[in-house]
Amino acid sequence: MKIGMYPGTFDPVTVGHLDIIKRSEKLVDKLIVAIAEHPGPKEPLFSIADRVKLVQDDVAALGLKIEIEVTGFDDLLIHYAEQRNVSMILRGLRAVSDFDYEFQMTGMNYQLNPDIQTVFLMSQDRYQFISSRFVKEICRLGGNIEKFVTPGVKEALHKKFTK
Ligand code: ADP
């Protein structure tokens, strides 16, 4: 059984993320969507519980044939991948701007464990420009985010910004 891991912050999940999850069906038998609890110096907008729930709801609506597990993690990614018997780390690649960071991360992870391969799926052109960061910004300033997220995520974002 081939287990893949799709790591990220998912703050919140967008249709761009969902497209990568959908396409993973052709690559792995099981996908673990691993959500970084504390991704960096900046606190995420949504709690880990909320981010997990939003991905779970969106994934359930996709009705995929493979098993998708959605979980938080707070470990070094490669250690968590080893612990979960993952053979492939999946990442989405948008414009050139993603490349530098992804290139470095893949190189470091390969040094740490050459048995785990990082595989990139190029974003489809209609999702190229969608990022969680801009979706939050657009919503905060009252713009329409319907094209970028599912109705459930849209509602959760509106709740955040109308508090
Ligand atoms: P991170 O903080 O690790 O970049 P994100 O949640 O922003 O976490 O993204 C997780 C993964 O999904 C990354 O590989 C990112 O490049 C990819 N991704 C994000 N948005 C899109 C999109 N619109 N199309 C394809 N891949 C995407």
Active-site annotation holds for 94 = yes
Between the alpha carbon of residue 48 and those of residues 27, 35, 142, 153, the distances in Å are 27, 8, 25, 14
Total-model pTM = 0.95
pLDDT at 85: 98
| Closest listed residue to residue 67, CA positions, set 25, 6, 27, 98 | 25
Instruction: Report the atom number in ligand 1 closest to the C-alpha of 130.
Output: 23
> What is the topology classification, in CATH, of domain 3-128?
Rossmann fold (3.40.50)
**For the chain, which residues make up each domain, given as ranges?**
3-128
pLDDT < 50: residue spans in the chain: none
What is the tens place of the pLDDT at every residue in 15-60? Answer: 999 999 999 999 999 999 999 998 888 899 999 999 999 999 999 9
Output DSSP code: residue 12: T
Most informative mutation of 123, 127, 129, 145 for ligand 1 (most atoms within 8 A of CB): 123
